[in-house]
DNA sequence: TATAAAAGTTAAGTATGCTTAACAAATATA
DNA sequence: TATATTTGTTAAGCATACTTAACTTTTATA
């Protein structure tokens, strides 16, 4: 049995390795991700290593063992299923689910999570468009799609941004593009790959770079 | 904000005072209820007293303040709503819900519990027939009803027993009365208040004393 | 390649919430 | 009422999981 804290370390490690595409993580990086001091990470790593959950040598890189990775995926599965539950069944908004799901993800009951999965109809993605690992621990590693990957002439809903620098966010704001805004690609210019889109019922042109930084999900018919 | 542990103390205190009908509880009694040592209770009581959650003097009785009682009721509300959710929506059986609900009751989110309440249709009682406190903290202090309080010619479902001595349990067994068994009172004998019942499709006579020790809930139409 | 900066570790200390052991107060019984 | 029993408290210690401060190793740069 893992403590909440241990589960959070494993989850953070998996997130870091997936997001950065690197196999190994550093102590400081992990500490920043967990919002704790590096010293605490050093101590915990010793414990996780003894439990065979991480591979790690003093002053060396940190990575998950297969056992650790499986546990991390299970936590992410729980997190995303709860988020789905909160949004779909309990009228939670997109932005409210995270903190509650951070608590719910640590509830220990295999039956609970499998029944919840069934109750929700075995969803493939959570409300943010992130893939939900299956009961067997299979995670579809494709991250959520961006506008640049969307199909032409189908409606998508804005989920968030890939780049959260203030310059970009202000730009997005100026474009009247918000979470929930409906976007449809009308055409792509061969010249510079600019996209002609309908965004919130207005026709606009956006650059390829812009489209690559907006996360979207397909709108339900 | 209360810790899980603090919430458990308050909940146990409320349960003890309700079940025993006494306003005050002792350290040993509370320790037994929480399955910890009395020494730990002494330490925690100091903390709860400082937080204005319990009334207590060294070597004296323990009772909840109105603030403490309100908090305890809130925990019980959460516990019973989660139990209802697990049974009604997730195919959990009567006996599986308790341990999971013990974890879920500590999730901190007012919105979560109010939305859950709404989702469940504002249930008045949990799957064990225990009353669910309202969002305002009103608890119907009547405990679950026994067979002796049931209406004539309506169907009830056996929830459990009031007396769990082995003599009684064996007697109940012999009567082919189990959790889930459907019971309907056909008549009550004025002479000795014996009840003529249909229990699991068989007509039987049971004593008043027997009927007073069987918890039931109304069967849904 | 010497050294400064960054990254990581260890040691000592804190808070929570338990434990056991020793002790004190209250209650029951002879 | 003296004493034995029960009940409750305090003190010291443990585990978890953090912190800060001092230190070590690695890496980057002059």
Higher pLDDT, A22 or A48: A48
| Nearest nucleotide over every DNA/RNA strand to the B31 CA, judged by C1' | D8
Quick check: A32 CB within 7 A of strand D?
A: no
Residue B93 contacts A where some CB pair is shorter than 8 Å: no
- Kindly report the number of other CB atoms within 10 A of residue A31's CB atom: 18
Is the pLDDT confidence value at B43 over 60? yes
Residue among B96, B104, B107 minimizing CB distance to A111: B96
State if pTM tops 0.85.
no
DSSP B150: S
Q: What is the mean pLDDT of chain B?
A: 90
Are residues B90 and A112, on separate chains, in Cβ contact within 8 Å?
yes
Model confidence at A216, in pLDDT bands (50, 70, 90)?
confident
Q: Tens digits of per-residue pLDDT, B115-162?
A: 999 999 999 888 777 889 999 998 876 657 889 988 899 999 887 777
Is the pLDDT confidence value at B67 over 90? yes
Residue A4 contacts B where some CB pair is shorter than 8 Å: no
Residue B99 contacts A where some CB pair is shorter than 8 Å: yes
Are residues A100 and B109, on separate chains, in Cβ contact within 8 Å?
yes
Q: How far, in Å, CA of B61 to CA of B17, rounded?
A: 11
- B54-56 and B195-199 strand pairing: unpaired
Q: Tens digits of per-residue pLDDT, A147-173?
A: 998 889 989 988 777 765 667 777 887
pLDDT recorded at residue A143 = 58
Q: Tens digits of per-residue pLDDT, B14-24?
A: 999 987 777 89
Is the pLDDT confidence value at B165 over 90? no
pLDDT recorded at residue A48 = 98
Is the pLDDT confidence value at B166 over 70? no
Quick check: B108 CB within 7 A of strand C?
A: no
Is the pLDDT confidence value at A59 over 90? yes
Q: How far, in Å, CA of A14 to CA of A77, rounded?
A: 12
Residue among A100, A109, A112 minimizing CB distance to B112: A100
3-state secondary structure chain A: CCCHHHHHHHHHHHHHHHHHCCCCECHHHHHHHHCCCHHHHHHHHHHHHHCCCEEECCCCCEEECHHHHHHHHHHHHHHHHHHHHHHHHCCCCCCCHHHHHHHHCCCCCHHHHHHHHHHCCCCCECCCCCECCCCCCCCCCCCCCEHHHCCECCEEEEEEECCCCHHHHHHHHHCCCCCCCEEEEEEECCCCCCEEEEECCEEEEECHHHHHCEEEEECCC
- The separation, in Å, between residue B14 CA and nucleotide D6 C1' comes to 24
- The separation, in Å, between residue A50 CA and nucleotide D28 C1' comes to 33
Is the pLDDT confidence value at A107 over 60? yes
Is the pLDDT confidence value at A144 over 80? no
Instruction: Give the pLDDT mean for A30-55.
Output: 98
Please give the share of chain B, as a percent, with pLDDT higher than 90: 64
- The separation, in Å, between residue A21 CA and nucleotide D24 C1' comes to 30
Is the pLDDT confidence value at B11 over 80? yes
């Amino acid at each position: 049995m893992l403590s909440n804290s241990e589960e959070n370390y494993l989850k953070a490690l998996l997130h870091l390795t997936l997001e950065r595409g690197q196999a190994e993580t550093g102590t400081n990086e992990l500490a920043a991700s967990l919002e704790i001091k590096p010293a605490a990470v050093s101590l915990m790593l010793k414990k996780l290593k003894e439990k065979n959950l991480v591979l790690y040598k003093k002053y060396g890189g940190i990575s998950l063992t297969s056992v650790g990775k499986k546990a991390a995926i299970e936590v992410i599965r729980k997190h995303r299923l709860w988020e789905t539950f909160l949004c779909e069944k309990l009228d939670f908004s997109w932005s409210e689910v995270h903190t509650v799901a951070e608590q719910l993800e640590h509830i220990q009951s295999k039956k609970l999570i499998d029944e919840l999965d069934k109750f929700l109809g075995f969803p493939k993605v959570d409300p943010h468009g992130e893939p939900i690992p299956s009961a067997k621990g299979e995670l579809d590693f494709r991250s959520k799609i961006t506008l640049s990957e969307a199909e032409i002439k189908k409606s998508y809903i804005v989920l968030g941004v890939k780049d959260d620098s203030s310059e970009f966010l202000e730009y997005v704001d100026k474009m009247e593009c918000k979470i929930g805004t409906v976007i449809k690609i009308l055409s792509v210019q061969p010249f510079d790959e600019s996209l002609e889109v309908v965004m919130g019922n207005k026709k606009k042109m956006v650059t390829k770079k812009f489209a690559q930084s907006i996360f979207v999900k397909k709108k339900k018919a």
